[in-house]
Amino acid sequence: MSEYFSNLSSIEIIFLVIGFLGQALFASRFVIQWIYSEKKGISYIPIIFWYLSIFGGLGLLIYAIFRKDPVIIVGQSFGIFVYLRNLILIYRRKEKK
């Protein structure tokens, strides 16, 4: 494993860290959702879920652009749009109350 990292440039290591951080944020949203649902006793998606989705997705998108991976670029770009749209809908509904 250390052999792998010793062959990477500094910029590659930076983007690798960005990718791992993005993945960690993205994955943590499920843990957060699970904790909130257990507390409420029902399936529940808290607002933090959408923020973790956006920031995790952005980290993964940055990494995908660096790697020039069109599959991940398209998937994360679309996902980020959906997460943002959900936040817009949530905040609009709160304003109407």
Q: Is the pLDDT of residue 19 over 90?
A: yes
Helix (H/G/I), strand (E/B), else coil: 54 = helix
Please report, in angstroms and rounded to a whole number, the separation of the first and last CA atoms in the chain.
54
Residue 17: pLDDT over 80: yes
What is the reported pTM? 0.87
- CA–CA distance, 23 with 66 (Å, rounded to integer): 15
At residue 1, the pLDDT reads 65
Kindly give, in sequence order, each residue whose CB lies less than 8 Å from that of residue 15, ignoring residues fewer than 6 positions away: 62, 63, 66, 67
Query: Which pLDDT tens digit goes with each residue over 31-47?
Result: 999 999 999 999 999 99
